[in-house]
Structure 1
Amino acid sequence: MPVPRVVVLAGGVGGSRFVLGARAALRRRGIFPTEHALTVIVNTGDDLWLSGVRLQPDVDSIMYALAGVNDTVRGWGRSGDSERVNHELQEWGAGWPWFTLGDLDLGTHLARTGWLRDGLTPTAVIERMSRRWLLGARLLPMTDDEVDTVVVLRDGSRMHFQEWWTRHRAALEPQRFENPGIASATPAPGVVAAIASADLVLIAPSNPVVSIGPILAVPGIREALAATSGPVVGVSPIIGGRVVRGMADVCLAAIGVETSAAAVAAHYGARPGGGLLDAWLLAEEDAASAAAVAGGGIRPVVTPLWMKDEPHSMALAEAALAAAGV
């Protein structure tokens, strides 16, 4: 039996947990995921320069999770990390006092920055970093271009997404989100080919606006999803009318989308109507929305969505694979 080629679009903590589940589900089927079996296209709109180093929060969250070295309590960074360097930076008045960088995490950022300054692309850097651990997946950035997310507030002021998200906890009302330069960006090498050859594309239950949105905004990626022969299955980030984690509801409101499983499905749209989805996994708590999802031309699949631990994440990924007939 040929090994299925699964592509996941992901970002953030929800994305990392789902990717862990996808890897576990493939292993349960007797498939040890390789770069040919499981490819993760990661959001890089969260990236930023801070204290002279390049940070890729979503890339690192997923890499650390697959490596088994992530801090599962805080939800970000490395487990068992210390913060001596971060404290020293604050004593110098450098960096952001509300944006903590662990010492081990800083090692990652320093290595990345050095390689970038040596001329490597983000794709090449991620490939090099991935050699350290047996990840069981190939990680690709959505683009090698810098397209950091900027939040435009109601008063017209602007700030980096990380400041709005981490410092202000999304309490400042956003007017819109921008990724300067994304209109001229290109998909990272391997992204379009991975989607084109996929037996299944999964859209993780990541923030639809600031995690999945930037991926889809890179010219050529949405078109590749529309053209791929494999089914595209999305997983709702909304359970019982509430966001699972973070402040995605504030992001959705800014683009005029209701915080509901059916509304997010409609936001992605059905492939026959020019959208992205063939099927949509929604929680048992949102079963009443299945008819609305079906009415939009998307096949609804009601299943437990809570990813409390890896077995629950694996069960969710299994449901996604089954929905696609893989």
Structure 2
Amino acid sequence: MATSAPRVVLLAGGVGGSRFALGLRDALERRDAPQATIIANTGDDLWLSGVRLQPDVDSMLYALAGVNDTVRGWGRAGDSERVGEELQAWGAGWPWFTLGDLDLGTHLARTGWLRDGLTPTQVIERLSRRWPLGVSILPMTDDEVDTHVVLTDGTRMHFQEWWTRHRAALPPAEFVSPGIASATPAPGVAEAISSADVVMFAPSNPVVSIGPILAVPGVRDALRATGARVVGISPIIGGRVVRGMADVCLTAIGVETSAVAVARHYGARDRGGLLDAWLVAEDDAAGVAELAQSGIGASAVPLLMSDAAASAAIADAALAAAGF
């Protein structure tokens, strides 16, 4: 096992991604390792009431800063909603999409900087200066590639409407990101992957959190070419999602809701896929041998991120799976 402090890149999105990022930061700090680079999903970004929202980026930012609302799982702790209520009184925005006042401050700052000509990468770097995050955050791309959901009846809506308003209850036929085929990785993304010692897939939704990152042209090629070990953490425990509606998303793309099926969805790197190793929960230990036949080295460890120490232990297990 290598003893040097590894350079780590994490692909992440959503609440699961932000919780794992906290554990990874703690694990790396104990090893005196360099700061990790997080490549954040921007597929669920949107314009609302004239401001640009980046929900996954902000979840990561707030969690790492220690200012996130841990009860709701999103937004700022102790936030108020006076501006959101006023917008609703004007019939503006989405009445089912909560915008906290502190959160709106972030969105307004972001929008102003974008209007001034900064790129999303530059905006995130500027937002990150406010708090000592202990990691660096890059968007997957500077291009706008918002995710839309096409329902089985042909209706099309923004992912946030389907996810937040309808709670994924409307049957999806596919998820599309207009413009992603011509998008490019944000500056530093390919370089971070190529120079990493370990690349990790957070236990995020494989379809709408990790999927958009992998869909940016050039990202898959960078992952296949890197000299780093690529380790994924299963978001499925015992055939169930821990949080959110990833099972609905997986069903829509024809993937079973199981740790083994998600690993096979990513595929073994030596067989044209992306993974070298995969962590499954102890409940799914029976799948370790099955995955070995698919070319993916799997390990069964506790995967429930019940607190910060548990999240750090999972990060340690992922580092161990990569040889560190």
TM-score tier (shorter): over 0.9
Q: Is 2:278 aligned against 1:277? A: no
Aligned twin of 1:61:
59
Given the alignment, which residue of 197, 200, 203 partners 2:201? 203
Distance 2:243 2:220 in 1: 25
| Equivalence for 2:140 | 142
CA distance in 2, matches of 1:26, 1:218: 28
Q: Within 2, Cα distance between the matches of 1:58 and 1:217?
A: 17
1:29 CA displacement = 1.8
Cα distance in 2 for residues equivalent to 1:301 and 1:226: 21
Q: Are 1:75 and 2:73 matched, yes or no?
A: yes
Equivalent AA in structure 1 for residue 20 of structure 2: F
C-alpha separation between the residues in 1 aligned to 2:291 and 2:77?
A: 39
Partners of 1:250 and 1:30 lie apart in 2 by 40
Aligned match of 1:10: 12
Equivalent in 89, 113, 121 of residue 91 of structure 1? 89
Q: What is the aligned partner in structure 2 of residue 300 from structure 1?
A: 298
Distance 2:297 2:96 in 1: 43
SS at match of 1:300: strand
Letter in 2 for 1:321: L
The percent of aligned pairs where both chains have the same amino acid is 77
Give the Cα–Cα distance (whole angstroms) in 1 for the partners of residues 64 and 134 of structure 2: 8
- Give the CA deviation at 1:3: 3.8
Per-residue displacement from partner, 1:139-188 (whole Å, max 9, x unpaired)?
Answer: 00000000000000001110000000000000000000000000000000
- Give the corresponding residue for 1:52: 50
Counterpart amino acid of 1:73? V
Separation of aligned partners in 2, 1:261 and 1:188: 30
**2:153 counterpart of 1:151:** no
- Alignment map for 1:231-242 (pairs within 5 Å): 231-242=229-240
Does 2:113 match 1:111? Answer: no
- Matched letter for residue 295 of structure 2: G
Alignment match, 1:216: 214
Deviations 1:248-282 (A, max 9, x none): 00000000000000000000000000000000000
Query: TM-score, normalized by length of structure 2?
Result: 0.98
The AA in structure 1 aligned to 2:252 is A
- State the secondary structure of the residue aligned to 1:9: strand
Partner of 2:190: 192
- For 1:224 and 1:280, how far apart are their aligned partners in 2? 19
Segments of 5+ residues of structure 1 without an aligned counterpart are none
Inter-partner Cα distance in structure 2 for 1:43 and 1:244: 19
Task: Tell me the residue number matched to 2:307.
Answer: 309
Instruction: Supply the distance in 2 between the matched residues of 1:46 and 1:147 (Cα, whole angstroms).
Output: 8
Partner Cα separation in structure 2 for residue 192 and residue 57 of structure 1:
23
Query: How many angstroms apart in 1 are the aligned matches of 2:84 and 2:305?
Result: 31
Which residue identity is paired with 1:200? V
Instruction: Give yes or no for the alignment of 1:289 onto 2:287.
Output: yes
CA-to-partner distance for each residue in 1:213-267, whole Å, 9 max, x for gaps? 0000000000000000010000000000001110000000000000000000000
- The one of 244, 247, 262 aligned to 2:245: 247
RMSD: 0.8
Task: Tell me the amino acid that sits aligned with residue 111 of structure 1.
Answer: A
Is contact 2:5–2:31 with CA below 8 Å preserved after alignment?
no
Q: CA deviation at 1:2?
A: 5.1
Counterpart amino acid of residue 269 in structure 2: R
Amino acid at match of 2:96: W
Shift in Å at residue 30 of structure 1?
A: 3.2
Equivalent-residue separation in structure 2 for 1:282 and 1:323 (angstroms): 12
TM-superposed deviation, 1:289? 1.1
1:119 maps to a residue whose letter is G
Structure 2: where are the runs of 5+ without partners? Answer: none
- Equivalent residue pairs, number: 322
